[in-house]
Amino acid sequence: MRWSQSFLPTLRDDPAGAEAASHILMVRAGLIRQLGAGLYSYLPLATRVMARIEAIVREEMTAIGGQELRLPALHPAEIWKESGRWDQVDATLFRLQDRRGADMALAMTAEEVFTSIARDDLASYRLLPQIWYQIQPKFRDEPRPKSGVLRGRQFLMKDSYSFDLDEAGLAESFQKHHDAYRRVYERCGLEPIPVEASSGTMGGSESVEFMAVCDAGEDWIVTCDGCGYAANLEKATSRHGGCGEADDPDSCPAPEKFATPDQRTIEELAQAFDFAPATRQIKTLVQVVDGQPVLFLLRGDYELNDVKQADALGTTDQRPARPEEIEKVLGAQAGSLGAVGVEEIEVYADESLRGRRGMVTGANEDGFHLRHVDVERDLPQVKWVDVRSVVEGEGCSNCGEPIALKKTIEIGHIFKLGVRYSEPMRARVLTAEGKETPLVMGSYGIGIDRIMAAAIEAHHDDDGIVWPKSIAPFDVVVSPVKMKDEVQRDAAEKLYAELREAGFEVLLDDRDERPGVKFKDADLIGVPFRIVPGPRALVNGNVEFVTRGDRSGEKEEVPLGDVVEELRRRLA
């Protein structure tokens, strides 16, 4: 392509309001323009990159036996009602009505549609296993669309679905996807960490997320260098930090009320009373779950993890109680809450409180707390759950080495669904023995635009994007210092023709701009190689050969006649 005739609108300045490096660079390098919150138009450079990522994904899906389908992204509500997700999914699902008033939804994933096809056309075990995929826009009314295309409200996803006769078959399909995803990422220049993830309330038994470490990420993962353990914070466990437990008394007197007129928070209490460090307090939180108030107890310094909470109770219908609701159930306000003697409502206690003695908790009377609480003795009604977020530096639950927390973005998710969809939607096949059995399914998602943005997050410098060669919009840019100079122009045009002939994606910067401007633009859009037929090199029959991102500072020259071979070698 000739730059002079291309639509490559680069900008000098950072766009207002953008924070993520990939967001800033995608706007500045002319890849995207914003249409609305979480909605982006992809300009030619971006569609080139996406096409290359899609091609890699298609190759790897084909390699595991995947077959490409293309389904509607506009779904009748019926199938969502059949699976139960119409009521289960929150406002993230875009819902609309057609002209006759029928409920519809925009695809956020497509389990229902794929299951409906399998139900009608996969009748026998002989047709199994099947792996079906599509590359299709997805729509989600994200609560906080941000960081450009990293979290959009419309994005492009490769979603695939596997259909097997049994769990063993599913395990194979799952492993195939695991391997295929790793190859996709490697080929796209990414090294995500596969982590155990929460399977959520969508059913299913096992789920692995591929998390790319990145500043703009919103997901925390836990890793252990000792044994390689890796899990989403929403699922991670650890040996909780024994601070304070070691000196728990062997026995303790009956709970004793004491006045705390000015101490409402964990910190205030810890400051005012030597015997009440945060690790010796019981934090009491009132949540409304499926419309009913429920108590959660945690050690004072720990945080409630809402995904763990949802997993523990099997519902996502949950929210913190409002002050008037709290007052109504416990007779006191937040700041003096506790569970001693509470019998009318369910009380869940985090595992980290098990066996603790000499604890401090609210007395359910404004301005008062209790001390000398023995958890087993004074809170016999609690149900034990794991609902706290683990903390950096705690011992790994496998090997005891200190764990680390990393900020990441999820770039893929593979999921054993089991019969979560085939049961309610009655997608069954006949076994060899002639018995009906529900299809055992998996679903697998990979975000195409998120891979593009994550690649920029991982590969950029002060000058702009440094594309991995495999997904760059162009292989090479030919940038004569002065296009008006006849010798340079001839050399550039000849190279342009030769390189295209050889099958490379070539950009010829034929603009009548100063070389500084041209080189800056080429660096910004991140083309891996720049070939400069400049006056000095040409005298010796050479061109300058510049590798994007090369910080060595050495000038390389390559004989004009060797450029094609040299480039072929470096792109290999």
Quick one: residue 179, left, alpha or beta (phi over 0 = left, psi -120 to 50 = alpha)? alpha
Give me 323's structure tokens: 């002050």
Interface with Mg ion, residue 357, by CB under 5 A:
no
Q: List the x/- string, 144-183, binding to ligand ATP by CB under 6 A.
A: -------xx--x-x--------------------------
Stretch (H or E) spanning 296: strand 292-299
Report the candidate in 203, 219, 229, 68 with the shortest Cα–Cα distance to residue 135.
Answer: 68
Contact in structure between 362 and 255 (CB atoms under 8 Å): no
The strand pair at 103-106 and 95-97 is best described as: antiparallel
Contacting residue, 54, 78, 103, 142, with ligand ATP by CB under 6 A:
142
Interface with ligand ATP, residue 475, by CB under 6 A:
no
Contacting residue, 189, 244, 255, 445, with ligand ATP by CB under 6 A:
445
With respect to ligand ATP, which residue has the nearer C-beta, 108 or 128? 108
Interface with ligand ATP, residue 221, by CB under 6 A:
no
Q: 539-543: long-range contacts (C-beta < 8 A, 24 or more apart)?
A: 543/491, 543/495
Q: What string of DSSP letters covers 11-39?
A: -SSPPTT--SHHHHHHHHTTSEEEEETTE
Among all residues, whose Cβ is closest to ligand ATP?
A: 447
With respect to Mg ion, which residue has the nearer C-beta, 151 or 413? 413
> What does the alpha-carbon distance between residue 421 and residue 441 come to, in Å, rounded to a whole number?
8
State in angstroms the smallest separation of the CB of 92 from ligand ATP: 8
With respect to ligand ATP, which residue has the nearer C-beta, 446 or 456? 446
Interface with ligand ATP, residue 60, by CB under 6 A:
no
State in angstroms the smallest separation of the CB of 381 from ligand ATP: 35
State in angstroms the smallest separation of the CB of 23 from ligand ATP: 12
> What does the alpha-carbon distance between residue 496 and residue 474 come to, in Å, rounded to a whole number?
12
Interface with ligand ATP, residue 139, by CB under 6 A:
no
With respect to ligand ATP, which residue has the nearer C-beta, 415 or 496? 415
Of 70-78, 96-104, 169-177, 405-413, the segment contacting ligand ATP by CB under 6 A is 405-413
Interface with ligand ATP, residue 300, by CB under 6 A:
no
Interface with ligand ATP, residue 447, by CB under 6 A:
yes
**Binding site partner of 296, from ligand ATP, Mg ion, none, Cβ cut-off 5-8 A by kind:** none
Q: What angle do CA 556, 559, 565 make, to 5 degrees?
A: 95
Contact in structure between 103 and 79 (CB atoms under 8 Å): no
Quote the strand ranges of 90-206, DSSP E: 95-97, 103-106, 130-139, 154-164, 193-196
The strand pair at 476-478 and 506-508 is best described as: parallel
Contacting residue, 411, 429, 495, 524, with ligand ATP by CB under 6 A:
411
> What does the alpha-carbon distance between residue 278 and residue 347 come to, in Å, rounded to a whole number?
20
> What does the alpha-carbon distance between residue 175 and residue 446 come to, in Å, rounded to a whole number?
15
State in angstroms the smallest separation of the CB of 528 from ligand ATP: 24
Contacting residue, 301, 410, 521, 544, with ligand ATP by CB under 6 A:
410
Q: List the x/- string, 393-432, binding to Mg ion by CB under 5 A.
A: --------------------x-------------------
If you ran DSSP here, which 8-state letter would residue 470 be given?
A: G
Among all residues, whose Cβ is closest to Mg ion?
A: 413
How many residues touch ligand ATP under the rule CB under 6 A: the total is: 15
Where do the H-state alpha helices sit in 379-441?
none
With respect to ligand ATP, which residue has the nearer C-beta, 418 or 445? 445
State in angstroms the smallest separation of the CB of 413 from Mg ion: 4
Report the C-alpha dihedral over residues 190, 193, 198, 199, rounded to 10 degrees: 60
Report the candidate in 286, 300, 308 with the shortest Cα–Cα distance to residue 388.
Answer: 308
With respect to ligand ATP, which residue has the nearer C-beta, 214 or 373? 214
With respect to ligand ATP, which residue has the nearer C-beta, 97 or 205? 205
For ligand ATP, the binding residues (CB under 6 A) are: 140, 142, 151-152, 155, 157, 410-413, 445-447, 449-450
For Mg ion, the binding residues (CB under 5 A) are: 413
